[in-house]
Structure 1
Amino acid sequence: MNNFVFVAAENDALANCKAGGMGDVVRDVPRQISERGDKVHVVVPSYGRLHHDGLFKTNLNFDLRGQTYTAELYEVQPKKDFPNIVHYVIHHPEIEAGDIAHIYHNDPEEPFYTDAIKYFIFGIAVAEAIKKGAFGTVDVIHLHDWHSSLLLFLREYHDDYSNLRDIRIVYSIHNLAIQGIRPFDDNYSSVRNWFPNVVFDYRALMDYRYQDCINLMAVGIRFADAVHTVSPSYKKDVMLPSSPPEFIGGEGLEKDLQLANEEGRLFGILNGCNYKNINVEEKGQIYRNTVKALFRWLQMEDKKYKSDFLAHTGEKIMEYVGNRPKFIVSSVARLTEQKFYFFKRSPEAFVEILKKLEKVDGIFMLLGTGAPEYEELFRKMSYDHKNFIFTNGQSESLIDSIYLESDLYFMPSLFEPCGISQMLSMRNGNPCLVHYTGGLRDTVSHMKTGFCFDGDNYDEKIKNMLDVFDEALDVFQNDQPKWKKIQTAAKKKRFTWKKSVDNYYKDLYKIEGK
Structure 2
Amino acid sequence: MNRFLFVAAENDGITKCKAGGMADVVRDVPREISERGDEVHVVVPSYSRLHQGGRLRAKLNMLLRGNEYTAELYEVVPKKEFKNIRHYVVHHPEIQGGEIGHIYHDDPKEPFYTDNIKFTIFCTAVAEAIKQDAFGELDIVHLHDWHTSMLLFLKTYHPEYKSLKKMRYVYTIHNLAIQGIRPFANNYSSLANWFPNVPFDPKPLMDYRYHDCINLMAVGIRLADAVHTVSPTYKDDVLKPSNPPEFIGGEGLEKDLRAADNEGRLFGILNGSNYKNIRVAKKGKIYRNIVRALFSWLQDESKKYKADFLAHTGEKIMDYVDNRPEFIVASVARLTEQKFYFFKRSPEALVSILKILQKVNGVFILLGTGDPEYEKLFREISYQHKNFIFTNGQSEDLIDSLYLETNLYFMPSLFEPCGISQMLAMRNGNPCLVHETGGLKDTVEHLRTGFSFTGNTYDEKIENMVEAFELALRIYLTDKKQWKAIQANAKKMRFTWKKSVDQYYRNLYAISA
**TM-score, L = length of structure 1:** 0.99
User: Which runs of structure 1 show a deviation greater than 4 angstroms over 4 or more consecutive aligned residues?
Assistant: none
In the alignment, does 2:244 pair up with 1:266?
Answer: no
Report deviation, 1:323: 2.1
Q: Secondary structure at the match of 1:366?
A: strand
**What is the correspondence of 1:189-208 to structure 2 with a 5 Å cutoff?**
189-208=189-208
Report deviation, 1:322: 2.5
Q: Deviations over 1:9-64 (max 9, x none)?
A: 00011111011000000000000000000000000000111000000011011111
Q: Secondary structure at the match of 1:482?
A: helix
For the 8 Å contact 1:170–1:227, the answer to whether it is kept is: yes
**What is the correspondence of 1:180-191 to structure 2 with a 5 Å cutoff?**
180-191=180-191
**What is the correspondence of 1:96-495 to structure 2 with a 5 Å cutoff?**
96-495=96-495
Q: Deviations over 1:271-316 (max 9, x none)?
A: 0000112113211100011001101111111111111000000000
Report deviation, 1:68: 1.3
Report deviation, 1:255: 0.2
2:492 alignment partner AA: K
Q: Distance in 2 between matches of 1:71 and 1:95?
A: 10
Q: Distance in 2 between matches of 1:344 and 1:31?
A: 38
User: Percent identity at matched positions?
Assistant: 73
Q: Distance in 1 between matches of 2:135 and 2:165?
A: 17
Range that drifts further, 257-266 or 471-480 = 471-480
1:467 alignment partner AA: E
Q: Distance in 2 between matches of 1:68 and 1:46?
A: 20
Q: Deviations over 1:411-439 (max 9, x none)?
A: 00000000000000000000000000000
1:366 alignment partner AA: L
Report deviation, 1:470: 1.0
Q: Distance in 2 between matches of 1:292 and 1:58?
A: 42
2:299 alignment partner AA: Q
Q: Secondary structure at the match of 1:460?
A: helix
Q: Distance in 2 between matches of 1:372 and 1:489?
A: 38
Q: Distance in 1 between matches of 2:280 and 2:377?
A: 30
Report deviation, 1:96: 0.9
**TM-score, L = length of structure 2:** 0.99
Q: Secondary structure at the match of 2:143?
A: strand
Q: Secondary structure at the match of 2:394?
A: coil
Report deviation, 1:469: 0.8
Q: Deviations over 1:355-406 (max 9, x none)?
A: 0001111110000000000000000000000111110000000000000000
Q: Secondary structure at the match of 2:171?
A: strand
Contiguous gaps of at least 5 residues in structure 2: none
Q: Secondary structure at the match of 1:103?
A: coil
Q: Secondary structure at the match of 2:60?
A: strand
Q: Distance in 2 between matches of 1:277 and 1:24?
A: 13
2:196 alignment partner AA: P
- Alignment-derived partner of residue 92 in structure 2: 92
Q: Deviations over 1:93-126 (max 9, x none)?
A: 1111111111111111100111111111100110
- Alignment-derived partner of residue 2 in structure 1: 2
Q: Distance in 2 between matches of 1:393 and 1:253?
A: 34
For the 8 Å contact 1:246–1:456, the answer to whether it is kept is: yes
Q: Secondary structure at the match of 1:243?
A: coil
For the 8 Å contact 1:280–1:401, the answer to whether it is kept is: no
Contiguous gaps of at least 5 residues in structure 1: none
